Amino acid sequence: MQRAGFSAFFEGDIEDAEIGDLRLKIAYTDRTALNFQISPKQVRKISHSGAAARLQNIYPTIMAEPFFPRMAKALRRLDKQRARNITVLHAAPCQHAVVFAAPRSQSDIYLMFAGIREHMNALGKDTGIVILASPDEFRAAVVFHFNELKSFSDRPVSLIFVEDVRLAAYAVPSSLEKHIQAKTFVFVSSGTYLSAAGWAAVSQARDGLTFLDVGNPVQTTAPGEATFSCFAWSVAGLKAYLDRTDTPAGGLDSLPPAAKLMTLAKRVPDAANALFFPSPSPLLHAINSRFES
């Protein structure tokens, strides 16, 4: 019993504080039974998409369960809720913010900050830089480069920590509205690198939804795609959209934008390059496959 593991699925949200006094009742064939008390320390709550791969390992056929659509919707909603947990390290208000979700690789963090240092002085006077980062193993690198950026520039630069940087787009309204007071923004996801054309466009992109097309640098002749990996919008516009829309788990850019949105949005070609193309787990794919964002 000391090494056994058990998985159970419950409908509804369970707060960590509610996980206590758990008992496992084992019924034997001779009709006797034993009750085991389980310490809260031994419980692992798998309730969000970040652990989708683990969930799939535990229960590979969970997609076939009748409760799966309800569970998928709850997981999608949970991601947006998680994104509201932010910690501000340094906030410098600005009218228009270029928001970067920090990459999850040391090299790409260097690349992101080098790009910012090279281009930020050409931005409009009312434009600031906001870095959204995870408090993970790359936190120290981000803080170091951010402090360098702050000391070598007189532009407003801000650093805000979010629970999971893959969900950074969901954290944009809560970060910008309250702490930066920005009205409009450009968002660059952690897997995206702005090109010179993208940098030239970021100061101007403040009139409604604009997709800054993301290309594959391996196939330079192929046109880029409009995705939520790199887009500009008003803070109010994104907030309203997130409030009224069932959005994907794993980040806003986990799915292509809805066709209806595409007809309304502007496009900036050749604005950015993908640093990689993630392969979503089959479970995440299933969680996001039953609706269109």
Partner 1 sequence: MKTPKSSKVTAQSGVTQSVAAESVAATSVTTTAVRGKRIAVVSHSHPSISKGGAEIAAYTLFHGLRRLGYDAVFIGACQQSQRGKIELGPNEYAFYYDPHIYDHFYHLASSDVSAQLLTLIRDLKIDLLNFHHFFNLGLAAFKQAAQEASVVFTIHEFLSICHNHGQMITRPAQILCSASSPNACGACFPEYSSQQFALRKQNFLESLSLVDAFVSPSHFLADRFVAWGLEKERMNVIENGLMYLHPPHLAQHSENHIWKFGFFGQINPFKGVDIILQACELISKKPALAAGIRILIHGNLIGQSDAFVKKFEAALEEYDFLSYLGPYNNSSVNSLMENCDYILMPSRWWENSPVVIQEAYAVKRPLICTGIGGMAEKVINNVSGLHFAFNDPADLMAVIEKGASATVHNALVNGIPGVLTAEDMAQQYLSVFNSVKSRAVSEPAEVPAE
Q: Which residues on neighbouring strands pair with residue 127, listed in sequence order?
A: 96
193 binds partner 1 (CB under 8 A): yes
Which run of H or of E encompasses 273?
strand 266-274
Nearest residue to 274 via CA among 206, 204, 234, 222: 222
Nearest residue to 124 via CA among 176, 184, 190, 191: 184
Q: How far is the CB of 101 from partner 1 (least distance, A)?
A: 17
Count of alpha carbons within 13 Å of 21, Cβ hemisphere only?
Answer: 1
Nearer to partner 1, 67 or 110 (CB): 110
In this chain, which stretch among 91-99, 157-165, 230-238, 270-278 interacts with partner 1, using CB under 8 A?
270-278
Cα 69 to Cα 290: distance, rounded to the nearest angstrom: 8
CA 106 to chain centre: 18
Nearer to partner 1, 65 or 148 (CB): 148
In this chain, which stretch among 30-38, 202-210, 214-222, 238-246 interacts with partner 1, using CB under 8 A?
214-222
Nearer to partner 1, 10 or 152 (CB): 152
208 binds partner 1 (CB under 8 A): no
10 binds partner 1 (CB under 8 A): no
88 binds partner 1 (CB under 8 A): no
CB 48 within 8 A of CB 251: no
Residue 13 is encoded by which pair of tokens?
């949200």
136 binds partner 1 (CB under 8 A): no
Nearer to partner 1, 117 or 139 (CB): 117
Query: According to CB under 8 A, which residues from 99 to 118 bind partner 1?
Result: 106-108, 110-111, 114, 117-118
Nearer to partner 1, 114 or 236 (CB): 114
Q: How far is the CB of 89 from partner 1 (least distance, A)?
A: 19
Nearer to partner 1, 33 or 218 (CB): 218
- For the chain, what's the residue count? 293
- CA distances in angstroms from 271 to 86, 181, 198, 214, 229, listed in the order given: 28, 26, 4, 6, 11
216 binds partner 1 (CB under 8 A): yes
152 binds partner 1 (CB under 8 A): yes
Nearer to partner 1, 62 or 214 (CB): 214
Tokens 């593991």 appear where? 5
275 binds partner 1 (CB under 8 A): yes
149 binds partner 1 (CB under 8 A): yes
131 binds partner 1 (CB under 8 A): no
Interacting residues of 287 by C-beta distance below 8 A, sequence separation 6+: 49, 52, 72, 75, 76, 248, 249, 250
Query: By 3-state DSSP, what share of the chain in percent is helix, strand and coil, each rounded to 5?
Result: 40, 20, 40
Element counts in the chain: helices (H) and strands (E)? 9, 11
Nearer to partner 1, 7 or 106 (CB): 106
Radius of gyration of the chain (CA): 22
121 binds partner 1 (CB under 8 A): no
* Contact set with partner 1 (CB under 8 A): 106-108, 110-111, 114, 117-118, 144, 148-149, 152, 193, 216-218, 220, 273-277
